[in-house]
Amino acid sequence: MSHPRPDEFSFRRYLAAKRTVDDRALHRPTLTRLTDAVADRETLRVLDVAAGLGTGLQRLLDWDCLPDRLDYTLVDIDSATLDAARDRLLAWAAEQGYTMSTGDEERETFELTRDAESVTVRFVSTDALTYAAATDDRFDLLVGQAFLDLVDLDKGLPSLLELVADGGLAYFPITFDGVTHLSPVFDPATDHSVLDAYHATMDDADRPGGSTTGREVLDMVAHGETTTLVAAGGSDWVVHPPYSADEAYFLHHLVDTIAGAVAGDLSEERRRAWADARHDAVAAAELTFLAHNVDVLARVRR
């Protein structure tokens, strides 16, 4: 029996597909607090760490969350992803009626202007923590979306917060927090084994980050010496049929990621049967998926 699924899996297609899922998930009261907190700024220096395809910048501009004059730096460890971000942002900006000029031949900087808006966009391909250790630059707003669960939080969070100017803000949306649910149930015992093993891989001592990072960020920010919690809330991903945009691909990708992560934790036959059933459920538009995430907004003072 064939089990329909994409011919190939692409992390960049996954990042693009999750845009609409994130759009629905983001905790609006936290984003509103951010928007209000920066509304009267004449200019804002923003650093977006692990920026991926740059969908965060697009969204913040689309949703009118930031002041007109911006200096926005995107950092990502993966240069090919950042190249794709540059191409996507230029194409999007043209559609939106921005006038564009590239500041240098390497296209590491470009300017977008439209009416009163003036946005300088910079691209830096490096590890965010290496960048934090090397730069003297300070930012009014640090954004780290769907990222902190990938770093050693005890070391990484303080060093990222060092990048924020006194009185500035740190915004960490969509940080995974320990709950993954797929329905309909395939077989309760296998579902538990797969999801427990999946979360355990995130907590593996060999890998930075962890499966309950969302609540850890909340606690660290609420009780930090340099941070005050401004706003926070759940930003759960919920994807259900009928799937919009490219969300069927998003689900296939997650099923493939989960099945890949748990290789070795249960028999190959059981793992494959679980993955086949899940891909089938996506193809039949029957799968509903939920993951619990947390958004945190903090004020940083020294």
What is the binding site for ligand SAM (CB under 6 A)? 15, 49-52, 55-56, 75-78, 81, 127-129, 145-147, 150, 174
User: Shortest Cβ contact with ligand SAM: which residue?
Assistant: 52
Closer by beta carbon to ligand SAM, 30 or else 145: 145
Minimum distance, C-beta of residue 131 to ligand SAM, in the bound complex (Å): 8
Instruction: Kindly provide the b/e burial profile for residues 268-297, where b requires at least 16 CB atoms within 10 angstroms of the residue's own CB.
Output: eebbeebbbbbbbbbbeeebebebbbbbbb
Q: How far apart are CA 14 and CA 256, in angstroms?
A: 11
Minimum distance, C-beta of residue 284 to ligand SAM, in the bound complex (Å): 27
Q: How far apart are CA 145 and CA 57, in angstroms?
A: 11
Q: Determine if the peptide bond prior to 242 is cis (ω within 30°).
A: yes
Closer by beta carbon to ligand SAM, 55 or else 213: 55
Q: Determine if the peptide bond prior to 184 is cis (ω within 30°).
A: yes
Closer by beta carbon to ligand SAM, 129 or else 266: 129
Closer by beta carbon to ligand SAM, 5 or else 18: 18
Minimum distance, C-beta of residue 146 to ligand SAM, in the bound complex (Å): 4
The answer to whether 93 and 99 are in contact (CB under 8 A) is no
Minimum distance, C-beta of residue 123 to ligand SAM, in the bound complex (Å): 12
- The amino acid sitting at 65 is C
CA distances (Å), 171 to each of 66, 188, 220, 302, in order? 13, 37, 13, 17
Closer by beta carbon to ligand SAM, 114 or else 122: 122
Minimum distance, C-beta of residue 78 to ligand SAM, in the bound complex (Å): 4
The answer to whether 292 and 175 are in contact (CB under 8 A) is no
Torsion of CA 185, 190, 192, 198, to 10 degrees: -110
Closer by beta carbon to ligand SAM, 6 or else 208: 208
Query: Could you identify the residue written with the tokens 């940080």?
Result: 175
Q: How far apart are CA 162 and CA 263, in angstroms?
A: 38
Closer by beta carbon to ligand SAM, 50 or else 281: 50
Closer by beta carbon to ligand SAM, 127 or else 276: 127
Query: Could you identify the residue written with the tokens 């003072």?
Result: 301
Instruction: Kindly provide the b/e burial profile for residues 195-226, where b requires at least 16 CB atoms within 10 angstroms of the residue's own CB.
Output: bebbbebbeeeeebbbbbbbebbbebbeebeb
Minimum distance, C-beta of residue 273 to ligand SAM, in the bound complex (Å): 28
Minimum distance, C-beta of residue 145 to ligand SAM, in the bound complex (Å): 4
Minimum distance, C-beta of residue 160 to ligand SAM, in the bound complex (Å): 10
Nearest Cα neighbor of 144 from 214, 194, 243 is: 214
